[in-house]
Amino acid sequence: MQMEILYFDGCPTYLEAQKTLQGVLEEEGLDAEVELVAVNTAEEAQELLFPGSPTIHVDGRDLFPVPERAEYALGCRMYATPEGLKGSPTPEMLREALEKMDSGSAAEKARRKGGF
């Protein structure tokens, strides 16, 4: 499993997201290295379809998908948490998103093998 946190240097919350994500991975017994990927220009943001910082990718897919947009730019990303809008997802949100992604991957593998 390849994990990345896309961020820009002015983001005040990407390190908090990294710490929370690594804590969840440890608690769940998942062995994954989290790579920090700096997005430094508007061109890079557009090329990477960067919806804001921090964005967490697992195997190249946004862990919290957002609708496509015409333009992407450097900016902060907000997450709708049970406590209101925050600059990074909660541990519970990360666990749930990882579980959904994992079950989706298992279902996709079964479909490819003719299991569904």
Q: Is residue 110 over pLDDT 50?
A: no
pTM confidence score: 0.84
The CA-to-CA distance between both ends of the chain, in Å, stands at: 24
pLDDT digits (tens, 9 = 90+) for 84-105: 999 999 999 999 999 998 775 5
Q: Give the 3-state secondary structure of 37-89.
A: EECCCHHHHHHCCCCCECEEEECCEECCCCCCCCCCCCCECCEEECCEEECCC
Q: What pLDDT, in 10s, does the model give residues 38-64? A: 999 999 999 999 999 999 999 999 999
- What CATH number should be reported for the domain holding residue 106? 3.40.30
Mean pLDDT (the chain) is 88
3 forms bridges with which residues in the sheet?
34, 58
Count of domains forming the chain: 1
State the residue range of the domain holding 58. 3-112
